[in-house]
Amino acid sequence: MPRVVVDVMLKPEILDPQGQAVQRALERLGFDRVTSVRQGKRFEIEIAEPGAADAGPAGSGAAVELGRDMAAKLLANTVIEDFTVRIEDAAGGAG
């Protein structure tokens, strides 16, 4: 069963006050070499294997397309966010 992983990040030009707050906390903890923190979202989406009745193309290419469609419609607001889509196998490794 393919797992689609969608990472959503604020666009570089959009201020990320949460990331800045995390950065300041890291600095207080002594991580003095941190120069920037940006906070984003990660979605792990399990996709059903296409059944025998499904005529559409199977495999990771189709799953990536599905992930892109989901990201563009709902998971990301492309006015302020960018997203990347990739496939992991069920064991969690990159596929």
Partner 1 sequence: MTRIGVVTFPGSLDDRDAARAVRLAGGEPVRLWHRDTDLAGVEAIILPGGFSYGDYLRTGAIARFSPVMGSVISAAGRGVPVLGICNGFQILCESHLLPGALTRNNHLHFICRDQRLRIESSRTVWTAGYQPGAEIVIPVKNGEGRYVADRDTLARLDGDGLVVARYLHGNPNGSVADIAGITNPAGNVVGLMPHPEHAVEALTGPGTDGLGFFTSVLRRLVPA
Query: Using CB under 8 A, which of the segments 15-23, 25-33, 47-55, 86-94 binds partner 1?
Result: 15-23
Residue 58 as a binder of partner 1 (CB under 8 A): the answer is: no
Measured in whole angstroms, the distance separating CA 57 from the mean position of its chain's CA atoms is 23
Residue 77 as a binder of partner 1 (CB under 8 A): the answer is: yes
Size of the site for partner 1 (CB under 8 A): 11
Distance from the first to the final alpha carbon of the chain: 11
Give the start-end residues of each E strand in 1-95: 3-10, 40-46, 81-88
Closest separation in Å from C-beta 55 to partner 1 = 27
